[in-house]
Structure 1
Amino acid sequence: MRNVLPFMTRVPVEGDFEMARRELWSFPLISLVSSALPTLILYMRLPLSNILAVLALYLTIGLLHLDGLADWADGIMVKGDRERKVRAMKDLNTGIAGVFAVVTVLLLQVYALPFLPFYGLFLAELNSKFATLLAMATKKPLGNGLGAYFMEGMNRKQLSIGTLLYVSLLLPPVIYNPLSLSSLFGLLTGGYVVHLSLRNFGGLNGDCLGATAEVARAGALIGMAFAWAYLGG
């Protein structure tokens, strides 16, 4: 886990680049670190805690995944063949589709949190990290970037261990409140990002993985917000 932390968070620890892709199984565990400060803020019920929690989240994980979401959205929305879409995704300039995607994801997260218990963001992060792990398990890299590097290290053993960790971390909140299962909506939204990526680009790169993480987190929060609002918490 220690070697993956520098790539998934801004926690000041050193990690080995080669060892990192051997620890992909630890993605669910990363959610414990990435959600720690936001969860504390929500637990303390500070003023504007929903906004502060989202800010604390990105202070912890950085903006790399949000940047990937913006690039991914630009590529998805442009008209043309796969080559043109990939070129638009790799363009250094962010288009209106990218701006819209980032703003939408941020707003969904901020407005969903007031409906949820303090551990809601942890569940969202857990599903976000697991959705990213599942995306890498497709083993369909696009290009030769960091995303392809990690996907090359993915195997059944890592996926099995990661799945076991995911279930182990998900189980306690579900036992405490079965409505926590609504966070699985994040896996559906993350899976849809993977589907769109394969259909439009023919593979996944780092931007696609970043988009998967962001959309899966927002999807988990929205799924839980509806469950708590209409089914009671």
Structure 2
Amino acid sequence: MSGKAGPSGDASHGHPLWEGPATIFSWLSVVPLRGARVFDTTTGRRAMTCVPLVGCAFGGLAALVSMLGSLASPVLAGVLAVVVVQLASRLMHLDGLADVGDALGSYAPPERAREILADRYTGALGSGAVVLTLLCQVAGLAGVAEAAGRPAVLALAVCSVYVLSRWAAMVVCRRSSSPTRRPFSATGFGALIIATVPRWRLAAWAGGFLAVSTGSWCALGAPAMAVASAVIVLVVWLSAEATVRHMARRFGGLNGDCTGALIEMTAAIAAVAYALSLPLLAA
């Protein structure tokens, strides 16, 4: 991720309505867009404000392959959804999840934990974190595919999982008065994005998601799922906040790996939450 965020020699920002979306897609996906030409916290704020758009695109892609896979089995639907999203994101968030797993699992003091976080080798704890998180994602999405019943229900639930997981990345990057919710390095990808996103933008995306999802579930004849979606947003937000606070305390700050790890963890949480809700509440 950080390799795509190097300066290109042009010191002028583009229009925010183009620069933000183009930059975040160039950073977090295989889409060959040219984003920002200068990289600073303004670039980071614009890009991370648009990160749920990546979730929308990945959600649509995952929903399509889930519908195809569900023709054979729910498990295949879950596997295909996870695989296609990981390929579309170049598996970059798994690297962050593995690094964070190793660093948190070490129970080392902040300075040593940051050294483990920067180590390019993955240990048993990091590998375990990746495997368990992906298993939860696959199982959750398979449960969604099995319980959905209708293609539209399946598509809405799968899209919601990926939008919420990318929205959660904004939680890592929101502005905060806490001295630990800052980038612990003055260089690198984390220095561009951490503590750049205003709280109102985070809230605006959450409100927009709730409005769209509530209307969509009601239109599908499942008003109880509209309420469940609101609860799932709350669960994802609280889980993300708790995880970010824990990482910030243990590392003495945050970096780009923390963002990637949270994306994968909240995708698993959201997938499991929808899998548990649909059999009980969907029409």
Asked if TM exceeds 0.5, the reply is: yes
The one of 157, 173, 176 aligned to 1:136 = 173
Residue number in structure 2 paired with 1:180: 229
Instruction: Give, in whole Å, the separation in 1 of the partners of 2:259 and 2:165.
Output: 10
The CA distance in 2 between the partners of 1:216 and 1:171, in whole Å, is 20
Partner residue of 2:139? 111
In the other structure, the counterpart of 1:195 is 245
Code of the residue aligned with 1:93 in structure 2: it is: Y
| Cross-structure match for 2:189 | 146
Cα offset, 1:190, TM superposition: 2.3
Mark the runs of 5 or more structure 1 residues left unpaired by the alignment: none
Kept in 1: contact 2:110–2:251 (CA 8 A): yes
Aligned residue among 198, 202, 206 for 1:155: 198
Write the distance in 1 (CA, Å) between the matches of 2:85 and 2:231. Answer: 21
User: Does the CA contact (< 8 Å) of 1:131 and 1:216 recur in 2?
Assistant: yes
Return closer, same or farther for 1:180/1:160 CA change in 2, 3 Å cut-off.
closer
Instruction: Quote the residue 1:32 is aligned against.
Output: 56
Residue 122 (structure 1) aligned to one of 121, 139, 159 = 159
Partners in 2 of 1:225 and 1:154 — Cα distance? 31
Residues of 1 paired with 2:214 and 2:191: CA distance? 31
1:4-153 to structure 2, matched below 5 A, reads: 4-17=24-37, 18=39, 20-21=43-44, 22-44=46-68, 45-47=70-72, 48-116=76-144, 117=148, 118=154, 119-139=156-176, 140-143=182-185, 144-151=187-194, 153=196
Give, in whole Å, the separation in 2 of the partners of 1:232 and 1:154. Answer: 35
Identity fraction in percent: 28
Counterpart Cα distance in 2 of 1:69 and 1:57 = 15
Output the amino acid matched with 2:78: N
Of residues 259, 263, 280, the one that matches 1:209 is: 259
Going from structure 1 to structure 2, the CA distance change for 1:115 and 1:156 (only over 3 Å counts) comes to closer
Secondary structure in 1 matching 2:23: coil
AA aligned opposite 2:262: T
Letter in 2 for 1:196: H
What is the deviation of 1:159? 3.8
CA contact (8 A) 1:74 1:97 kept: yes
**Is the CA contact (8 Å cut-off) linking 1:10 and 1:61 kept in structure 2?**
yes
How many residue pairs align between the two structures?
A: 232
Alpha-carbon contact 2:168-2:237 (below 8 Å) kept: yes
- From 259, 267, 272, give the equivalent of 1:222: 272
Give the alignment's TM-score, normalised by structure 1: 0.89
Decide whether the 8 Å contact of 1:28 with 1:165 is kept in 2: no
Q: What SS does the aligned partner of 2:22 have?
A: coil
Question: Normalized against structure 2, the TM-score is what?
Answer: 0.74
Aligned-pair CA distance for 1:197: 0.4
CA–CA separation in structure 2 for the residues paired with 1:227 and 1:160: 24
Q: Which runs of 5+ in 2 are unaligned?
A: 1-20, 149-153, 177-181
Aligned-partner Cα distance in 2 for 1:135–1:10: 23
1:20, 1:142 → 2: CA distance?
19
Cα 1:15/1:165, change in 2 over 3 Å: farther
Q: Is the 8 A contact 1:105 1:218 kept in 2?
A: yes
Give the C-alpha shift of residue 129 in structure 1: 1.2
Q: Which structure: larger Rg? A: 2
Alignment partner, residue 3 of structure 1: 23
Question: For residue 17 of structure 2, what is the aligned residue in structure 1?
Answer: none
